[in-house]
Structure 1
């Protein structure tokens, strides 16, 4: 009971803290005159992934690398199969070919880098630094190319991601206070979640990796789910898709990279046997569905949700 309460409090803290962090950071960035495109690409992307980052760092520092890696891999699987599936079931998700060519290609590249690191069996600091360097290069190139081209469909998606964040017209001082408060809540939420998840794993006879792939991964992905649902309801399906793709890129290159920089990670055998392959398959499925008529239909969304249900069933019974 105590462990379950910790998990509930932790998830609530991650959701509330992540929301406050994004609102405060976006509002502060507006005060400093950053463009909506840059805000959407960087701050919103990092902000919605902050629960995964803080949780993975807390897990690895607590001696639970299975939760840290399971969180990243499980979040990427959930982003495609669960979050995009839900979004597409609510309304067909439009895909811009030019924007998808670059960002979708980067997602596939990041997925392959993650696969390579997992096959090696150890994600060390050099690998982590390489991941972060690739992420910074991608962000720099994207900002440069969008500013040079001006008014592209991809830029409109990034602007939409910034504009979809509610209540961001605070004064600079209040915005910073809200962001810091959100960060503190997120940190404590991650501590509660990791502590409770480890206790549940021990009591239920499950591995920490399975808990990371399920409870932790789904919980830390709630900001992406909320953002995607809001986007679809506003008729901005492209923002929902961009949110999923951007989150998957950040999860691998940013979160896994930063976590490995802080503490090298030994890859659990469970991840290599099944989950990394499911993550790769989900990324390929996203590309295939996106390219069929340049939209993700309701039927395809239902297929994604069914695939996620099957994956969870296999995961919890293996």
Structure 2
């Protein structure tokens, strides 16, 4: 048990370090290549911050642990909405820009429905992976075209996401390339440790790999989003907190699940198909309704979300 906990902890540290190095190196390289901050924020920052989830799900799928591979994605999305966004709203009520959220709510709801359909197939294979990745590319193109056409709050937010990433001053392509490679290596090794530790931990605790994937692994790989959202609301940048969660969930469902299925077909555990995917779909719908009803997430609504997450994790502990 102790060894598995050390593997999980060490894996999470390496994943966090790898994601940070990858984002900093890639954003710095984008700036040197003249890529706009808007495009960098939409793509590089989005993909970079999802590196822990991607590396973990791919490693789990290759290791024959579909419960961890899919549980990581589904559990991360549930935790992002109920726990991370709920906690953020408790700290500071979150206001929503109706114009920008009209597009993102369609993408968020559509990705949740599409991934639910993929899970219900029983096996998520390369074809489903291509469809999911294609939808993510379509969303990025739609967002980039709409935000670059005219000034808008969402475009400013994405630009700030890229501009706020600390990059070593005057770092050349060799240094930045080294940061990217080091980040990828750390993420790959960290994911391997995390998956190995999670498999042993599941056996020692007498629970399924799906439960470990939905809880320990999902929350662990979502720690960068948690830290980013809490820091954002403490700085009174509630738009960044909301954008982080919405963007992360879209990337998780379309990018991570799609890429994982493209690399290694995933056999969906019956417990996730029968319950957890519906929880994810339900909380996604709840968030969209909450935000569109008053274009605001109050402290009370945030507290309700956190309470729902506590209830969900307690229910998982009984499985």
Normalised by the length of structure 1, the TM-score is 0.96
Runs of 4+ in 1 over 3 A off after TM superposition: 166-170
Q: CA deviation at 1:8?
A: 0.7
Contact map agreement 2:68 2:210 (CA 8 A) in 1:
yes
Structure-2 change in CA distance of 1:170 and 1:196 (3 Å):
farther
* Partners of 1:170 and 1:257 in 2: CA distance: 36
Query: Are the aligned partners of 1:197 and 1:216 in contact in 2 as well (CA < 8 Å)?
Result: yes
State which drifts further: 216-225 or 172-181: 172-181
| Matching residue of 1:165 | 165
Distance 2:36 2:113 in 1: 32
Distance 2:250 2:221 in 1: 15
Q: In structure 2, how many angstroms separate the alpha carbons of the residues matched to 1:312 and 1:168?
A: 40
1:20, 1:115 → 2: CA distance?
A: 32
Matches within 5 A, 1:215-294: 215-294=216-295
On the 8 A contact 1:94/1:296 being kept in 2, the answer is yes
Secondary structure of the equivalent of 1:185? helix
Counterpart of 1:175 in structure 2 is 176
Gaps of 5+ in 2: none
SS of residue matched to 2:34: coil
Displacement of 1:234 in angstroms is: 2.1
Gaps of 5+ in 1: none
Q: 1:53 to 1:170 in 2, by over 3 A?
A: farther
Superposed CA RMSD: 1.3
Deviation at 1:273, TM superposition (A): 2.1
Q: 2:25–2:167: 8 Å Cα contact kept in structure 1?
A: no
Matches of 1:199 and 1:185, distance apart in 2? 21
Residue pairs, 1:1-318, within 5 angstroms: 1-148=2-149, 150-167=150-167, 169-173=169-173, 174-318=175-319
> How many residue pairs are counted as aligned between the two chains?
317
- Residues 305 and 47 from structure 1, CA distance in 2 versus in 1: closer, same or farther, beyond 3 angstroms? same
Which deviations, in whole Å up to 9, do the C-alpha atoms of 1:196-235 show, x marking residues without a partner? 0000111111111111101110011111111112221222
